[in-house]
Amino acid sequence: MSLISPAARDALQTWLTHQRALKDAAENTLTAYNGDVAEFLAFITEHKAEPQGLRALSAISVTDMRAWMARTRSGGVGARSLARKLSAVKAFYRWLAEREGFEPTAVLSVRAPKFQKKLPRPLAEDAARGLIDAIEMQSQTPWVAARDVAVVTLLWGCGLRISEALSLTGADTPLPGTLRITGKGGKERVVPVLPAAQNAVETYVRLCPWTQTPNEALFRGVRGGALGPGTIQKVMARARMQLGLPSSATPHAMRHSFATHLLNAGGDLRAIQELLGHASLSTTQAYTAVDTARLMEVYERAHPKA
């Protein structure tokens, strides 16, 4: 951030603090915001060939914005990533314009590049079951095999993100009928725990050579430290290759599958939204990857005027 003027740097940090305190933004989101906006401010300084104080930043033109976008794309950044960066810059400018009293039209009017949204690819129910069976065969060490099965069962059976499953501690065992999970942005939700997940975790705990303590990670690596997501990702990669499944059969795909299988069984979209911890229903619809006909079927059955 050495190219950024002190005033601009201070404004960026104040905005990030605002996002953290009032918007309850997740730390990963704040880190991305910081990098994206700092990168933009550094470009503008270089582009204008002089330090950019707040007054100069308020005079950014559409041409300046297009120059930044062209430079970013020429650096190998894809349309999806550029759209994310532009979104961060626009959010910063909305806040800055309100605080400093200028019109941010030049920044806000710039359109994001079009890109094809990638829909999640849930696994069919039999494929999900087969994957868990294959995962159990990946290690000849019984407790390691039980550990990997327990983690993946939590992803599919409870709709957890892999980070959420790995954040469980010894205090969470034995698993109760419901878990209180802290997800993205510090948002809490309550998810039911199926007997299959309880049994899988119980088997792992019984076989695990490491003593479970309330303040330490439930899932351990072979040396006793907290298990990282990379280990589960590698295990799933080996299992899916054996089964001939596509590369989209990742740990997160099991979460997609959780949502899709619930909906196919007649689950309510709002209830599934709560279980997944999504802020908006549209996100849940994308995760479930259902077609318009299926959504209309749910709507017609559920709407009181149908």
Q: Which residues are catalytic?
A: 161, 184, 252, 255, 278, 287
In sequence order, the 6+-apart residues with CB closer than 8 A to the CB of 285 are 269, 295
d(CA 299, CA 279): 20
Q: Is the dihedral of CA 114, 109, 26, 10 positive or negative?
A: positive
What is the dihedral angle through the alpha carbons of 20, 229, 216, 195, rounded to the nearest 10 degrees? 100
The two tokens of residue 20 are: 């953290």
Beta strands in 146-229 (DSSP E): 178-182, 188-192
Q: Is the dihedral of CA 123, 127, 130, 134 positive or negative?
A: negative
Q: Do the Cβ atoms of 227 and 151 come closer than 8 Å?
A: yes
Neighbours of 208 (CB within 10 A): 19
d(CA 107, CA 72): 16
Q: Are strands 188-192 and 178-182 parallel, antiparallel or unpaired?
A: antiparallel
